Amino acid sequence: MVLAGDGIGTEIVAEAVKVLNVLQAEGAIDVTLQDGLVGGAAYDAAGDPLPEETLEAARASDAVLLGAVGGPKWEPLHISKRPEKGLLGLRAGLGLFANLRPAILYPQLADASTLKPEVVSGLDIMIVRELTGDIYFGQPRGVETLPSGERRGFNTMVYTESEVERICRVAFDIAMKRGKKVCSVDKANVLECTEMWREVATKTAADYPEIQLSHMYVDNAAMQLVRAPKQFDVMVTGNIFGDILSDCAAMLTGSIGMLPSASLNEKGQGMYEPIHGSAPDIAGKGVANPLATILSVAMMLRYSLDAVPAAERIEAAVSKVLDQGLRTADIMSSGMRQVGTAEMGDAVVAEL
Amino acid sequence: MVLAGDGIGTEIVAEAVKVLNVLQAEGAIDVTLQDGLVGGAAYDAAGDPLPEETLEAARASDAVLLGAVGGPKWEPLHISKRPEKGLLGLRAGLGLFANLRPAILYPQLADASTLKPEVVSGLDIMIVRELTGDIYFGQPRGVETLPSGERRGFNTMVYTESEVERICRVAFDIAMKRGKKVCSVDKANVLECTEMWREVATKTAADYPEIQLSHMYVDNAAMQLVRAPKQFDVMVTGNIFGDILSDCAAMLTGSIGMLPSASLNEKGQGMYEPIHGSAPDIAGKGVANPLATILSVAMMLRYSLDAVPAAERIEAAVSKVLDQGLRTADIMSSGMRQVGTAEMGDAVVAEL
Ligand SMILES: CC(C)[C@H](C(=O)O)[C@@H](O)C(=O)O
Ligand SMILES: CC(C)[C@H](C(=O)O)[C@@H](O)C(=O)O
């Protein structure tokens, strides 16, 4: 299922679909694409950021490719009608509890980072963020009026042991195929909920004798990402801490226009999307970077469609296009050739 | 009141006390110092990380100078007995709702940052973090056992309108003496509690027509701190987001051994402490950097003791010592002279 969403979503998804179509025509993969509405686009068309129809079709799909949702146009809406609710509804509705967010520095784009080259060269972190629990979905929540007439807003951070164990297993399994190091991030010195998280992570690790598990407080993790990010292999954490840390980690690479993400459920269904947003300021101008979305297709082929060779071809094609010096505006640097969204997509297709 | 706490606390506080004593002997200030126990040291001596006696004495003081608390020795303790509870108890017990955390790059230490010089040179951000509300203190909290036998951990993020207004006013007042720009950080697209925060911030800003108020989601704020930190003047946010972002911002400077902090209540009483921790790995070795604690004394003189000239003298002395090329191990670089904790303290005293 293809959900372009809002802002630059339509443009970047169009390039990713080109890639899928080429692989399909070749017989390298066998997919049927179905479009749907989500986010502000769905609100505008149907008064709901996640129409029942979209959720049903997504449930029936093997995988969902998402562009991006949101924009200033919908900010005045009540929180329950905002584009973000469409995204959160898909996560909850499909049970996409495991969000994989790689933060990889492309050697061709080493200069784009605001960090010194020696600090980030070769950076390759996988952040595993729990995506259907925590304060994002916890009850009770809301704003109440106290007897004094003053309002009081509240949200609940909550995790059960099985939710923690489930996401830790995903992180451990991934780490087994990488550097076998997992850093679990919590605030166990203050929050009981995350003190339990730490206990469960430790207990679950007993099944993975080869994994080297460490624990870090979230404030220190934010520091360490800036100080010495290469100390990390896989990081696992809850929904809200993961939201903050994965964006911080992504920015270390200087090229968030390059980073894909996957959100998986227990059945192997997944939703794939670039980690960047809908960039309303450049929407419709044909200048957005489609590579994160194209790399999201590669993740989709790898994790949900069992087409690893095709995934590798996409990744190699993206790397070649960068080698050729092609750059969209967000990753442009002197001596390179600046191209638009479609030209970048075409270049990847040509290299496939 | 002087609370050395744990780890390197004793060593660094000793240097700060030297500075206070010199100013006192000169008649530049008029303070009476009283020692007390907090954190692991207090637990060891009295079975409680915040003995009633310490809290009483702190309440009766104009200001508290704190070293640092915590260490692996006390990690196995129940959360209610950990050194951190001493710190949290002081914050709550004294009503220290406003945590001021400057992130300043010292020109002499520009190289210490992991970020490129052009990204951080001249960096001067003031983070105003709410310190007595939010998920740190919210009820209900704990770990319960469900009928299924599985455990469930929960904590509550909570703010009242008056708590938000109060901290926003502190941020706006500070910004009026600086660049008049305030960025309020929330997660209003997901959390009702922070949606209310945003409304209150906007409403309160109406009393400050000269202040340019912007809003940013916390994940984006973590990104922007890495991407372009100099866009910020004052940032204001809740307790947990402030914990994470202020550490991230501090690390941008590369020298967390240099950064002080102040925590103020409505009466102008304050607690002053370095933002770094108790560094158990180097405790007792005489190598810790005392400058953040000495600069915390300067903040104390400025905010609680109405001794601005003396505060400025301390800050100037620290700057001169850096100009002389003196460096503790944490900020050492080639061509400079490495000194220990006491030697650094003595050098500041000599320059006063
Ligand atoms: C748009 C928003 C609801 C979302 C989140 O907070 O999860 C986004 O920041 C993300 O990380 O995917
Ligand atoms: C030690 C800990 C309880 C504390 C906090 O989380 O507030 C610390 O990280 C800080 O920022 O002062």
Average pLDDT of span B79-107 = 95
**pLDDT score recorded for residue B74:** 93
Interface test with A, best of B139, B193, B203, B204 (most A CBs within 10 A): B193
B11 CB within 6 A, ligand 2: no
CA distance B264 to B100: 8
**pLDDT score recorded for residue B126:** 98
Q: How far is the CA of A88 from the centre of ligand 1 (A)?
A: 8
CA nearest to B37, candidates B80, B1, B78, B76? B1
* Contact criterion met (CB below 8 Å) for B94 and B271: yes
Interface test with A, best of B219, B237, B245 (most A CBs within 10 A): B219
User: What burial class does residue B341 get, using C-beta atoms within 10 Å of its C-beta: 0-12 exposed, 13-18 middle, 19+ buried?
Assistant: buried
**pLDDT score recorded for residue A269:** 95
- Pocket-testing residue among A38, A135, A243, A296, ligand 1, by greatest number of atoms within 8 A of Cβ: A243
Atom number in ligand 2 closest to CA A219: 9
Atom number in ligand 2 closest to CA B247: 11
Atom number in ligand 2 closest to CA A220: 9
**pLDDT score recorded for residue A80:** 87
CA nearest to A156, candidates A132, A139, A133? A139
Low-confidence ranges of chain A (pLDDT < 70): none
Q: Say which residues have a Cβ less than 8 Å from residue B192's Cβ, sequence separation at least 6.
A: A79, A141, A142, A143, A153, A154, A155
CA nearest to B241, candidates B142, B159, B140, B122? B159
Q: The tokens 């929904």 sit on which residue? A: A239
Interface of A with B in 261-320 (CB under 8 A): none
CA nearest to A299, candidates A316, A291, A311? A311
Phi then psi for residue A308, to 5 deg, are -60, -45
**pLDDT score recorded for residue A265:** 97
Bridge partners (DSSP) of residue B261 are B273
A189 CB within 6 A, ligand 2: yes
Write the pLDDT tens digit of every residue in B251-293.
999 989 999 999 999 998 999 999 999 999 999 999 999 999 9
Q: Say which residues have a Cβ less than 8 Å from residue B209's Cβ, sequence separation at least 6.
A: none
Provide the 8-state DSSP code for B115: B
CATH class of residue range A1-99+260-352? alpha beta
**pLDDT score recorded for residue A79:** 83
**pLDDT score recorded for residue B217:** 96
Please tell me the pTM assigned to this model: 0.96
- Contact residues on chain A for B244, CB-CB shorter than 8 A: 218-219, 222, 241, 244
Q: Which of the residues B136, B159, B272, B303 is marked catalytic?
A: B136
A217 an active-site residue?
A: no
Q: Does A216 touch chain B (CB under 8 A)?
A: no
Task: Sketch the domain layout of chain B as residue ranges.
Answer: 1-105+256-352, 124-252
B134 an active-site residue?
A: no
Q: Is A143 in Cβ contact with B192 (below 8 Å)? A: yes
**pLDDT score recorded for residue A231:** 98
**pLDDT score recorded for residue B78:** 87
C-alpha angle A90-A91-A97 in degrees, rounded to nearest 5: 160
Task: Annotate A15-47 with DSSP letters as a single string.
Answer: HHHHHHHHHHHHTS------EE--THHHHHHHS
A30 an active-site residue?
A: no
Q: Which of the residues B187, B272, B303, B330 is marked catalytic?
A: B187
Phi then psi for residue B232, to 5 deg, are -100, 145
**pLDDT score recorded for residue B56:** 97
pLDDT band at B62 (very low <50, low <70, confident <90, very high): very high
Q: Which ligand is nearest to the CA of B243?
A: 2
Write the pLDDT tens digit of every residue in B209-246.
999 999 999 999 999 999 999 999 999 999 999 999 99
C-alpha angle A156-B94-B193 in degrees, rounded to nearest 5: 20
Interface of A with B in 91-120 (CB under 8 A): 114-116, 119
Position B103 pLDDT exceeds 90: yes
Query: Closest partner residue to B152 among A158, A225, A245, by Cβ?
Result: A158
Just give the CATH number of B124-252. Answer: 3.40.718.10
Interface test with B, best of A6, A119, A135 (most B CBs within 10 A): A135
Q: Does B162 touch chain A (CB under 8 A)?
A: yes
Query: Closest partner residue to B153 among A142, A196, A222, by Cβ?
Result: A196
Report the nearest-CA residue for atom 6 of ligand 1: A243
Report the nearest-CA residue for atom 5 of ligand 2: B243
**pLDDT score recorded for residue A75:** 87
CA nearest to A124, candidates A143, A140, A153, A103? A103
Q: How is residue B270 written in tokens?
A: 């304050």
A173 an active-site residue?
A: no
Atom number in ligand 1 closest to CA A243: 11
Same fold, B1-105+256-352 and B124-252: yes
Write the pLDDT tens digit of every residue in B109-123.
988 999 999 999 999
* Contact criterion met (CB below 8 Å) for B63 and B304: yes
Q: How many residues does chain A have?
A: 352
* Contact criterion met (CB below 8 Å) for A332 and A289: no
Q: Is A162 in Cβ contact with B114 (below 8 Å)? A: no
CA distance B161 to B135: 15
CA nearest to B57, candidates B32, B22, B27? B32
Long-range CB pairs of B177-182 (<8 Å, 24+ gap) are: B178/B126, B178/B233, B178/B234, B179/B233, B179/B234, B180/B210, B180/B211, B180/B212, B180/B233, B181/B211, B181/B212, B181/B214, B181/B232, B181/B233, B181/B234, B182/B211, B182/B212, B182/B213, B182/B214, B182/B233, B182/B234, B182/B235, B182/B236
Phi then psi for residue A87, to 5 deg, are -65, -50
**pLDDT score recorded for residue B80:** 87
- Nearest-Cα distance to chain B for A145, in Å, is 9
B130 CB within 6 A, ligand 2: no
CATH class of residue range B1-105+256-352? alpha beta
Q: Which ligand is nearest to the CA of A223?
A: 2
**pLDDT score recorded for residue A285:** 97
